[in-house]
Amino acid sequence: IALRRGLATSFISVDTSVVDAYAKCGAIETARRTFDQIPTKNVVSWTVIMSAYAINGLPDKALASFEEMKREGYTPNDVTYLAALSACNHGGLIREGLMIF
């Protein structure tokens, strides 16, 4: 309820789970707004928003989030790279996938 009213919780795992739930329901815009409200993001929250874009047919936005995450100083982990490569695979972005790999 707090996130729905624009108030982020103090639990990043809860906030990130809400982003994931919205994405799985196809509400990608709401997922992104919720993600943007997370006060302190981590690599897991970034990976979730990347996966959210990928599963909703937006591989370019997934890769843009990947680049944004790196610009903000977060180090991708194995799961993050998998999410980026999955987005490339689903979107037919072969060149981009090779650049990540």
pLDDT of residue 5: 53
Describe the chain by its helix, strand, coil percentages, rounded to 5.
70, 0, 30
Number of domains making up the chain = 1
Does a structural domain hold residue 1?
Answer: no
Does a structural domain hold residue 33?
Answer: yes
Does a structural domain hold residue 52?
Answer: yes
Does a structural domain hold residue 2?
Answer: no
Give the closest residue to 82 by CA, choosing from 51, 52, 45: 51
Does a structural domain hold residue 50?
Answer: yes
pLDDT of residue 6: 55
When computed from its CA atoms, the radius of gyration of the chain, rounded to whole angstroms, is: 13
Does a structural domain hold residue 61?
Answer: yes
Does a structural domain hold residue 75?
Answer: yes
Q: Average pLDDT by consecutive 10-residue portion of the chain (101 residues)?
A: 54 92 97 95 97 96 97 96 93 88 74
Domain ranges, residue 76? 12-100
Whose tokens are 């989030």? That residue is: 65
Does a structural domain hold residue 4?
Answer: no
pLDDT of residue 12: 87
Is 52 within 8 Å of 43 (Cβ atoms)?
A: no
